[in-house]
A and B are shown apart, each in its own frame.
Chain A
Amino acid sequence: MSSPALVRHPEDGMPTASIAEAGPVPAVTPAAAPTSFGALMLRWYRLNQGRLRATAIGIISLLAFLLVWHLLTTYRVVFFVRFTNVPSPLAVYASFVKAIHDPKFLMHVLLSCRRIFFGFSLAAIVGVPLGLIMGRFKLVHEIIFPVAEVLRPIPAIAWVPMAIMLWPTNEQSIVYITFLGSFFPILVNTLHGMSLVDPVLVRAAQCLGARERSIFREVYFPASLPHIFTGLTVGMGVAWVSLIAAEMISGQYGIGYFTWEAYSLVQYADIALGMIAIGVLGLGSSLLIRGAGQLVMPWRST
């Protein structure tokens, strides 16, 4: 389960970033004065010291990971875990070079991305408004919540047989499973955000003349946005988990299918390549959501 871990900590662009962030806070820079380029650079450096440090440590940590991997595989270490058949980083690199010139591999990747796009977008389009409405109108909450609570614990993978029966094509059932995976985290987090809206802000809006609809648009929605984006980030992670599982079980294309097929065809380097591709795609999509979040919530990025 590599992708949910990546997704659950989107702020840790690198595995060690959180350690670095816990370090000393960079000194506050003095108030602005007309300055030379050199002084500007210096100030930029001071302000971003923490981030630079995190990046540096992150790169070193990744390199160390590669080195350990390399050593374990070249010496074919057997110590409880058997590295005898595990491909080395160089072998994976070689199969990567081959793969990027192979339209079939690209098609696998693109198809997975398309499924994520449709499944996740649908989940967001349904989940966010539903959460907002459920948070605001008790009756809707009372009607929908019990059903959601019963369906929520069912892992998306457990839906595979049912999905195959429900949907006419394989493609649709995979998208459906991706949708299910991301839907509940999005719904639950949106609801949570709605329940945390500060009542004082609602009162403030009311005595400035805001009516129900404006309060919804101007207070409840923006106040819930941080949690909505948490839901989207978590949902994206679960979407990948569900997608890969679905592809491995019922797919014909897709990066999950590619990884599984590599195992059946005894192409061990391709297994690792598939896994890394999934990791990178998962990370990339959660970074996209983070970026979108910063665009939509400029008040939180200072």
Chain B
Amino acid sequence: MNTKSLIHLEGIHKIYGEGDASFEALKGINLDILSGEFVAIMGPSGSGKSTLMNLLGCLDRPSSGSYRYEGIHVESLDKTQRSLLRRYALGFIFQGFNLLARTSAVENVELPLLYRGIGRRKRRQLAREALDSVGLADKERNTPGELSGGQQQRVAIARAMVTQPRTLFADEPTGNLDSKTTDEIMLSLTRLNQEQGITILMVTHEEDVAQFAGRQIHVLDGLIAHDQQNH
């Protein structure tokens, strides 16, 4: 095992459901991600990308296999410890945003800071900066219901970035964005990766978005089909 390996997956299986209705979404994934990498995960719809991301983000547990994050056996952690790992090390951008309803954009972005115990003033300031960096400075009072799909997605991005997590998982972060906003978001992700050394794993369907990453992994039918470095 590489000493710089941040994420190490071995024989990861994920089976949804039970008995006849069960479905094997991941069929034995082996994967190493190094600290500081920017990885794009691609593949057809239903191939298991989100399933993989959820496992990596400690939101779900594999049916079998082992997952080590910074050398820690994640499956040996209890619920609270996994929560704390998510709180202090991981950031997650959901395919479906998952913002708190009836809660203003800025308060949504503040949420992870609140659980980190950061004071009110500092929280507000950091949240505003994050919203500003995704071009939503003028929408901080709006609730998700008052925002377009792309704007909600950007709030979700700001919420994941605001804590400057060691590792950022992004499930189709530009799925709802036009090409200009997409470029802006990709630039800020690249900056986080290069300037702060944040490791980024990003699911995308778009070839030109994947070009921002240094490495492309193709998932097909629950297995890794290709794994290549960009040039």
Binding partners A and B: no
